[in-house]
Amino acid sequence: MQNLEGSEPVDPRETHREFYDQLRPGTGDYWRLMAAPRWRVRTMLKVLEDVRPSRLLDLGCGNGELLREARRAWPGADLWGLDRSAVQIEANRRRYPGMSWEVADFDSPAPPAPGLAGRFDALISLEVIEHVESPARFLSYAFDCALPGGHLLLSDVSSAVAPAHLAPSAFTGRASRRGH
């Protein structure tokens, strides 16, 4: 990939790493003050009311605000957040010690860590899929983390929140979807 001037190649993975490996002041304000993220969080939690997850994984958890809200809804749930930023994960461990936080690179072909594979009845990911190199690999990673019959709630910056029941067909182009 070329930079804007066209003179030097730009590695998008390195650019992402440089950006996300910094804590930025005001990111909590985005979740607290902006209508769109508050609406997405409320919508995700409402969709999950029927599922009542006992094990919930946030793929691309950022500063952990979504899992903080999930803790209020399901105080006994096993809550996990994965993010590419080691700096952010360490900050989340300090802010929310009752939850599990791990670094994960969704652009890597490596499978989920053994403690994550086949563990979660619900997975959520807000505005992450459009930032990964391979959306198919990202969805495969999610599938590998899910229990059979698990639920994936996914949003990107330009589409509505829509739940998907995780079934093998979901990864062959025939996603089984339940609309709200």
Q: Which domains does the chain carry?
A: 12-177 (3.40.50.150)
Which residues, at least 6 apart from 19, have a Cβ–Cβ distance to it below 8 Å? none
* Whole-number Å distance between alpha carbons of 97 and 110: 27
Between 27 and 96, where is the model more confident?
Answer: 96
Q: Which helix (H) or strand (E) holds 81?
A: strand 78-83
- Residue 46, amino acid: K
pLDDT tens figures, 78-123: 999 999 999 999 999 999 999 999 999 999 999 999 899 999 999 9
Checking DSSP bridges between strand 162-165 and strand 176-177, what pairing results, if any? antiparallel
Q: pLDDT tens digits for 159-178?
A: 555 555 544 444 433 333 33
pTM of the model: 0.77
Q: 73: Cβ–Cβ under 8 A, 6 or more apart, which residues?
A: 45, 48, 49
Q: In what order do the strands lie in the sheet with 146-155?
A: 100-103, 78-83, 55-59, 120-126, 146-155, 162-165, 176-177
Average per-residue pLDDT for the chain: 81
Length of the chain: 180
Q: Determine how β-strand 78-83 pairs with β-strand 55-59.
A: parallel
Half-sphere exposure of 153 (CA within 13 A, CB side): 26
